[in-house]
Amino acid sequence: MSGPIFEKIALVGIGLIGSSLARVIRREKLAGHIAISTRSAATLDRAEELGLGDSYSTDAAEAVKDADLVIISVPVGSSGEVAAQIAPALKAGAIVTDVGSTKRSVIAQIEPHMPANVHFIPGHPLAGTEKSGPDAGFADLFENRWCIFTPLPGTDAAALEKLSEFWRRCGSDIDTMDPEHHDMVLAIVSHLPHIIAYNIVGTADDLEAVTKTEVIKYSASGFRDFTRLAASDPTMWRDVCLHNKDAILEMLARFSEDLASLQRAIRWGDGEKLFDMFTRTRAVRRSIIEAGQDIDVPDFGRQAIEHPDVLAAQPKS
Query: Does 78 engage in binding with ligand NAI (CB under 6 A)?
Result: yes
Contacts of 168 (CB under 8 A, 6+ apart): 174
Query: Does 123 engage in binding with ligand NAI (CB under 6 A)?
Result: no
Query: Does 73 engage in binding with ligand NAI (CB under 6 A)?
Result: yes
Among ligand NAI, ligand ENO, none, partner that 244 touches (CB below 5 to 8 angstroms by kind): none
* Intra-chain end-to-end CA distance of the chain, in Å: 53
- Among 76-84, 197-205, 215-223, 260-268, the segment contacting ligand NAI (CB under 6 A): 76-84
Member of 4, 133, 193, 298 binding ligand NAI (CB under 6 A): 133
| Smallest distance, ligand ENO to C-beta of residue 262, A | 24
| Smallest distance, ligand ENO to C-beta of residue 129, A | 5
Helix (H, G, I), strand (E, B) or coil at 171: coil
Question: For residues 87 and 262, which CB has a smaller minimum distance to ligand NAI in the complex?
Answer: 87
Query: Does 171 engage in binding with ligand NAI (CB under 6 A)?
Result: no
Which residues of this chain interact with ligand ENO, rule CB under 6 A? 101, 126-130, 190, 297-298, 300
| Smallest distance, ligand NAI to C-beta of residue 248, A | 14
Report the C-alpha gap between 110 and 150 in whole angstroms: 13
- Is 30 buried (19+), middle (13-18) or exposed (0-12) by CB count in 10 A? buried
Bridge-based pairing state of the strands 69-72 and 173-176: unpaired
Question: For residues 58 and 129, which CB has a smaller minimum distance to ligand ENO in the complex?
Answer: 129
Contacts of 83 (CB under 8 A, 6+ apart): 72, 109, 110, 112, 113, 114
Query: Does 81 engage in binding with ligand NAI (CB under 6 A)?
Result: yes
Report the C-alpha gap between 55 and 48 in whole angstroms: 8
Radius of gyration of the chain (CA): 21
Question: For residues 55 and 129, which CB has a smaller minimum distance to ligand NAI in the complex?
Answer: 129
Ramachandran category for residue 64: left, alpha or beta (phi over 0 → left; psi -120 to 50 → alpha) = alpha
Question: For residues 104 and 273, which CB has a smaller minimum distance to ligand NAI in the complex?
Answer: 104
Q: What does DSSP assign to residue 182?
A: H
Q: Which residues here bind ligand NAI, judged by CB under 6 A?
A: 12-18, 38-40, 43, 73-76, 78, 81-82, 99-101, 125, 128-129, 132-133, 233, 236, 240
